[in-house]
Amino acid sequence: MIVAELPQRELARRLGGIGLRLRTGPVVTRIQSPLTRIIHGVALHYADHLVEDSEGFADFHVRVAPPRSLRRWIGSQVHFHFDGTRPFLPLPADQAFAMLEWGLNWCVSAHCHQFLIVHAATVEKAGFALLLPGDPGAGKSTLCAGLVSRGWRLLSDELTLLELATGHVVPLPRPVSLKNASIDVIRGFSPDAVLGAPVHDTVKGSVAHMKPPTVSVRRAADVARPRWIVLPHFERGAAAQLAPLSKARAFMHLADHAFNYDVHGRPGFELLAQVIGGSDCFEFHYGALDDAVAVFDELARRA
Amino acid sequence: MPDPTKTNSRSDPPAQPRAGPLAGRRRLLQGGLGVAPVLMTLVSRPVLAVTSAGQCTTPSGFVSANASTAGRGVICTGHTPAFWANSQNFSAWPAGYNAQPPGQVSRFNAFFTPNINPGNPTFVAVLQGNAGTGNAAKDQVAQYVVAALLNVGPPVLTPVLSAAAVKDIWSEFATNGSFSPSAGASWSAAEIIAYLQTTMQ
Amino acid sequence: MSLSSAPHWRSVPVDAIVWREWNDEFVVRNERSGSTHLLGPLAGEVLRVLLDAAEGLSVADIAACLDDGPKAASDSGLPAAIEEVLSEFKRLGLAESEPKPR
């Protein structure tokens, strides 16, 4: 059963009580929250995601809720709870859904050491994965949302999971987070995209989430082989240009952007070497999404 | 899995046959001399603990917001008030701060405003929980901000906090009764202390 | 072959190093330090020579391994460049020197 098949009342009941066991790729999370923002956020962004059995196993147990004290009426904050602890500082209540998303990212990046996890957006076409590692502001989520709106499959917006034994990307299809100007860019680029209401004044400015396309969620079990590693650089007015990046430098970039490279030691090195060895590596400058999509579609055609 | 005896092979597969020694030397001389030998180093980071212990954040952000370190987070190795208050550790106090003579003994009011008056307690007294503000929660916040200031050093044990940020925390809290790390958020004494504790081991 | 008083260099043991080379650039992970390095062409070749060697090598030995021409040892740029590489390696824990009478 998927979330969309649960009546809203039942969804609210589970979230407010025993918890909703939500599957996102290889991860099952039990989510609890009494908050309307969370109920609506889950109903919107996770509509196509599988709901696991209430008695079943969950990898993580999380809860987003206001403090249990008088403070709940003063200052309106929410906490993220993980297995009974509160690993983060509170945020304003209107950021509850963003907090859930950041918290779910943290759960995976801090614990899922069965994978090598790279801080990158990844999309797929023709069976091949395009990895977009990058620092904040480089435009990787905007590029990801744009490509995904033009026929590329979403594998992940933020956390790219690499299978140690094979080097394949294991999908983790979850909402794409958009910031500031990117929100309107994607609204204009893809009028059919499902976007939640933006929240403002977060650490990252204004933030909104784009629901992952249904096909991306349904194909969460289909892994993909890394084929292109592209470091994006958004610059207003820039012409779209791919420039070759040395494999050794691309390797260092991936290692630097891997959450748990040090956890994996030598096998982590070998895995990244394998991924780099089989991929073409580029730096990419662009100013318009249409140009970017054309460039990557051409890469896919030539693959 | 790759054969471990082949781990030190060249590229996989080599794009062209390996160049002979003379050609190799020319390549080295053209491309190698004058270039820094080691172009980049990624330093090993300690394995992050499952809980927030050992990970610390700036007052206004999550670990995951500090994405340039790819969620490895910033490792803070600051000391607790008890550590700094322990006479066995006085020799570890950073330059510019003195727990005891010789040298001018560090007092709260020389570094923090609003001041604690009367009394102007020494750092050691404050670290021991005896700031004497008349309010237990305030004494405790004072205790932790002094420890946090010593952690800024140098040596910098807590990269996420500057001396100015530590002083701001006290200044705002002592004036308003709370500290606001970002728009819309507000911390009580307990939350300030909980945050500062994440920067200490 | 080597001067008896010249320092001899060894890399970290072979089993502590894993590396790859693509187009004359090398990525190297040192298990002892846990660090990963990007090396230029000369540094990478010097490391490879050290890893292949059964015993410590002097700068002159290394220069000779990198080139089989008779001018190797007196080439104006190469020994100094190798010294610089070795000094960096020492700083990073990739190699160490021992004054070793032969």
pLDDT digits (tens, 9 = 90+) for A216-229: 999 999 999 999 99
Q: Output the CA angle C21-A250-A120, nearest 5 degrees.
A: 145
Task: Return contacts of C62-71, CB within 8 angstroms, 24+ apart.
Answer: C62/C9, C64/C1, C66/B21, C66/B24, C66/B25, C66/B28, C67/B21, C67/B22, C67/B24, C67/B25, C68/B21, C68/B22, C69/B21, C69/B22, C69/B25
How sure is the predictor about B65, in pLDDT bands with cuts at 50, 70 and 90?
very low
- C-alpha distance from A225 to closest chain C C-alpha (Å): 20
Task: Return contacts of A189-194, CB within 8 angstroms, 24+ apart.
Answer: A189/A145, A189/A146, A189/A149, A189/A289, A189/A290, A190/A145, A190/A146, A190/A149, A192/A149, A193/A145, A193/A149, A194/A44, A194/A45
- Asked if B7 lies within 8 A of A270 by C-beta distance, the reply is yes
- C-alpha distance from C59 to closest chain B C-alpha (Å): 15
pLDDT at A191 over 70: yes
Q: Which residues of A touch B50 (CB under 8 A)?
A: 110-111
Higher pLDDT, B21 or A40: A40
Whether residue B66 lies within 8 A of chain A, CB to CB, comes out as: no
Does B140 reside within a domain? yes
Share of chain A above pLDDT 90, in %: 72
Does B62 reside within a domain? no
Q: What is the mean pLDDT of chain A?
A: 92
pLDDT at B40 over 70: yes
pLDDT at res. B27:
59
Q: Which residues of A touch C21 (CB under 8 A)?
A: 248
Does B15 reside within a domain? no
- A249-286 confidence digits (pLDDT tens): 999 999 988 888 877 888 999 999 999 999 999 999 99
Nearest-by-Cβ selection for B39 from C35, C40, C77: C40
**Phi, psi dihedral angles at B100 (to 5 degrees):** -155, 165
- Asked if A248 lies within 8 A of C31 by C-beta distance, the reply is no
> Tokens 């606001």 label which residue?
B180
pLDDT at res. C29:
92
How sure is the predictor about B8, in pLDDT bands with cuts at 50, 70 and 90?
very low
Whether residue A244 lies within 8 A of chain B, CB to CB, comes out as: no
Does C21 reside within a domain? yes
Residue A163: partners with Cβ closer than 8 Å, 6 or more residues away? A115, A169, A170, A223
E strand or H helix at C66, and its extent? helix C59-66
Does C60 reside within a domain? yes
What is the span of the domain harbouring residue B110?
79-197
pLDDT at B7 over 50: no
**How big is the A-C interface in CB pairs under 8 Å?**
43
Sequence spans of domains, chain A: 3-111, 115-302
> Whole-model pTM?
0.72
Q: Tokens for B101, please give them.
A: 């003579």
- A125-160 confidence digits (pLDDT tens): 999 999 999 776 778 899 999 999 999 999 999 999
pLDDT at res. B149:
94
Does B137 reside within a domain? yes
pLDDT at B66 over 60: no
Helix (H, G, I), strand (E, B) or coil at A3: helix
pLDDT at B25 over 70: no
When divided into structural domains, chain B yields a total of 1
pLDDT at res. A71:
54
Average pLDDT over residues B139-153: 93
Nearest-by-Cβ selection for B40 from C19, C38, C41: C38
- Asked if A105 lies within 8 A of B48 by C-beta distance, the reply is no
> Tokens 């809290």 label which residue?
B173
How sure is the predictor about B91, in pLDDT bands with cuts at 50, 70 and 90?
confident
Higher pLDDT, B77 or C9: C9
Does C56 reside within a domain? yes
Whether residue A60 lies within 8 A of chain B, CB to CB, comes out as: no
Helices of type H across chain B: 21-31, 81-85, 123-127, 136-152, 163-176, 189-197
> Tokens 């507000």 label which residue?
B186
Pairing of strands C95-99, C7-11: antiparallel
Q: Output the CA angle B174-B177-B179, nearest 5 degrees.
A: 85
Whether residue A246 lies within 8 A of chain C, CB to CB, comes out as: yes
pLDDT at res. B28:
61
- Asked if A269 lies within 8 A of C25 by C-beta distance, the reply is no
Instruction: For C91, name the nearest residue in chain B, comparing CA atoms only.
Output: B38
- In order of A109, B115, B124, B150, the CA distances from B133 in angstroms are 43, 10, 15, 20
**How big is the B-C interface in CB pairs under 8 Å?**
94
pLDDT at res. A275:
97
Instruction: Choose, out of B33, B35, B43, the residue to mutate when testing the contact with C (most C CBs < 10 Å).
Output: B33
CATH number at residue C75: 1.10.10
Task: Show the low-confidence residues of chain C (pLDDT under 70).
Answer: 1-4, 68-76, 100-102
Does C50 reside within a domain? yes
- A170-182 confidence digits (pLDDT tens): 999 999 999 888 9
Does B63 reside within a domain? no
List chains adjacent to chain B, taking adjacency as at least 3 C-beta pairs closer than 8 Å: A, C
Cis ω before B37 (30° cut-off from 0): no
Does B163 reside within a domain? yes
C79 has which bridge partners? Answer: none
Instruction: For A278, name the nearest residue in chain C, comparing CA atoms only.
Output: C22
pLDDT at res. B123:
96
Does B16 reside within a domain? no
What is the span of the domain harbouring residue C45?
13-94
pLDDT at A97 over 60: yes
pLDDT at res. B159:
63
Q: Is B49 left (phi over 0), alpha (psi -120 to 50) or beta?
A: beta
Nearest-by-Cβ selection for B8 from C18, C23, C37: C18
Q: Which residues of B touch A203 (CB under 8 A)?
A: 60-62, 65, 182
Nearest-by-Cβ selection for B65 from A87, A94, A204: A204
When divided into structural domains, chain C yields a total of 1
Nearest-by-Cβ selection for C25 from A246, A269, A277: A246
Share of chain B above pLDDT 70, in %: 61
Q: What is the DSSP string of A195-254?
A: BPPPEEEETTEEEEEEPPPHHHHHTTT--BEEEEEEEEEE-TTPPPEEEE--HHHHHHHH
pLDDT at B71 over 90: no
- C-alpha distance from C3 to closest chain B C-alpha (Å): 23
Whether residue B40 lies within 8 A of chain A, CB to CB, comes out as: yes
Q: Which residues of B touch C33 (CB under 8 A)?
A: 44
Whether residue A302 lies within 8 A of chain C, CB to CB, comes out as: no
